[in-house]
Amino acid sequence: MPIGLEEVFETAEMILFENYDIRAVTLGVNLKDLVHPDPHRLAQAANQRLSKLGSRLAAEAQAVSESLGVPIVNKRLSITPAAWLIEPCPDKEAPLILAQALDEAAQKAGIDFVGGFGAWVQKGATKADRRLMESLPQALGSTQRLCGFLNLATTRAGMNLDAIARLGELLLEMSSAAPRGIACAKFVAFANAPEDNPFMAGAFHGPGEADAALNVGISGPGVVRGVVERHPDCDLTMLSEIIRRTVFKITRAGELVGRELASRLGVEFGVVDISLAPTTAIGDSVGRILQAMGLEQVGAPGTTAALALLIDAVKKGGSMASGRVGGLSGTFIPVSEDLGMIEAVECGALGLEKLEAMTAVCSVGLDMFAVPGDTPSHALAAIIADELAIGMVNHKTTGVRVVPVPGLTAGDSVDFGGLLGRAPVMKVNPFSGERFIRRGGCLPAPLSALRN
């Protein structure tokens, strides 16, 4: 479908006045053909390929941004899950050797982040999976641009409680591996992880993908907030229609940028991820959208219903605008990256339990929130298990990006800097679920998984 002149002017207005941008362009790269028993040879080959492709991505993204006048905020790479790559490597140091090579390639190429340092362990773990898991604190703590993930649950397989319990312990190691617990901010625990996600920290290049594919993550909370504020008295049916039409326009602009960039790179165009992704910029907040819809503050009664309406409208508008919608495609509600969410936590309107309830209708999960540094590992594991259960039972993607911050307690604040923003440290329920978590084993898949 051709882009009309009216759409061009509307897009220009969104860029100039409402913080519209392309949040991320992510080039997924297959590295399976580089697998080798010698981890140094694997790492060198991966470094060379990613340096070359990453440099091209950075240069062409800048050219497309200037040509079309649409800001592209982040340029990223994602790779084949790293645990698969180190499978034949007997060297226990293989994950760390690969991690350093990936981080170096991103730095050389001018790429913001490289994702895919992770494994799928929802049902069990290979030796390579376990080696990669154990390397996470050092790998993410000693690198700047490397991001990691674990897929710990799926609707079809159930949930691996043994891996989740161990992850709780690893998160505490990760929190002390780099200042302010920043290594934890580069890691996400998933249920039903998508294979074409352009957003960090959970991006990886899945097995169903081509050798290289370009995925685009749009933004636009400021645009949606603006249109909601301009219609303060319409009923919710009409408000949903207004949001759908707005997201349609946002998605159209995102696909235009993605297809042009893919063409210049000579790779397949993957998907447009239609998630509303907030930033710390004034007005670029999902929390502010919910307030504009009529809530005094995020966390007030009605918050989950308002978020459900917003996400439904986003999905309907985006899916009508593009036949290549994928990734997460919903609404991010991170605490640290959204000024509206930060204020809600600081004033006491939003706690961890209400945030979890909101994720039942949100596509992304518990994202970028800080907890006290002395939070027990079993409590971290239980928080992750609760959230992944929502995704597993409801056939949806959910994730957890939690940062236990050493030395801080509930009510303190930590500044991660840049895109990661500032997080008030949230209170964790003091009552224990340790005996439940220590049972281990596998949480069985729900009956709804038997759909053949």
Which band of pLDDT confidence, cut at 50, 70 and 90, is reported for residue 274?
confident
How many angstroms separate the CA atoms of 181 and 414, rounded? 9
Q: Give, in order, the Cα–Cα distances in Å from 408 to each of 113, 220, 375.
A: 27, 33, 10
pLDDT surpasses 90 at 129: yes
- Are the CB atoms for 373 and 423 separated by under 8 Å? no
Please name the CATH architecture into which domain 29-191 falls. Alpha-Beta Barrel (3.20)
**What does pTM read for this prediction?**
0.92
Residue 422's DSSP bridge partners are 415
Q: Provide CB contacts within 8 A for 13, sequence distance 6+.
A: none
Q: Give, in order, the Cα–Cα distances in Å from 34 to each of 31, 78, 91, 307.
A: 5, 15, 16, 44
Distance from chain centroid for Cα 406: 23
The tens digit of pLDDT for each residue in 318-369 reads 888 888 888 888 778 889 888 999 999 999 999 999 999 999 998 678 999 9
Q: Which two tokens stand for residue 257?
A: 């940028």
For the chain, the domains span: 29-191
pLDDT score, position 449: 81
pLDDT score, position 253: 84
How many angstroms separate the CA atoms of 109 and 121, rounded? 31
Q: Which residue has the higher pLDDT, 2 or 449?
A: 449
The tens digit of pLDDT for each residue in 233-252 reads 999 999 999 999 989 988 88
The tens digit of pLDDT for each residue in 109-128 reads 999 999 999 999 999 999 99
**3-class secondary-structure state, position 141:** helix
